[in-house]
Amino acid sequence: MRVIKERGMPIVRSDVSFPQFLDKFLRPLRPCLISGLTDDWIAARVWTCQDPAAGNLIPNFPLLKVLFGAETGCVTFCDETDGHGELIQRDLPISSFLDSLNPNTSRKTYLKDFHFMRHLRKPPYSVPKFFAGSHPFKRILT
């Protein structure tokens, strides 16, 4: 395993084995960045566009609205709680969620994508092996 330090954070290549990742980062709860995880994701190639002002890749919100706007997703309002202290969640059309994204607001929301991803023929991304549900984390970590 090759670990590269940048800005004080270890960067690990995505081809690291699960046992190595488990021993070096997961068990000790040590944060790291994992490079190369999204290289083969359709979402990383198709759902982005180049920002003309900054030159970097940004989400292609108009395309996302066309592709998923009619779907419903569970949106968590990260700064809002109910009477029991639980974060507020609402099922909203994806188009409404996308319309609510505004860089000039401090409102934090989170779209739980798995609610609408099951309707797609081909998933646009995969869960990295380090975080897939197939590993018995409870047994391994204890």
Domain parsing of the chain, residue ranges: 59-123
Please indicate whether residue 126 or residue 140 has the higher confidence score (pLDDT): 126
Please indicate whether residue 74 or residue 133 has the higher confidence score (pLDDT): 74
pLDDT of the residue at 66: 93
User: How does pLDDT run across 95-126, given as a tens digit for each residue?
Assistant: 998 988 877 777 888 887 666 666 666 667 77
User: How does pLDDT run across 75-96, given as a tens digit for each residue?
Assistant: 898 888 899 999 999 988 989 9
Token pair of 75, please? Answer: 């949106």
Please indicate whether residue 1 or residue 55 has the higher confidence score (pLDDT): 55
CA distance 61 to 58: 9
Asked if pLDDT for residue 2 goes beyond 60, the answer is: no
Q: Mean pLDDT over residues 13-20, rounded?
A: 88
Are 72 and 115 in contact, with CB atoms under 8 Å apart? yes
Strands (E), the chain: 3-6, 9-13, 33-35, 48-50, 57-59, 72-81, 87-93, 109-112
pLDDT of the residue at 14: 87
6: three-class secondary structure by DSSP? strand
Question: Is the full-model pTM beyond 0.85?
Answer: no
Which of the 8 DSSP states describes residue 55?
-
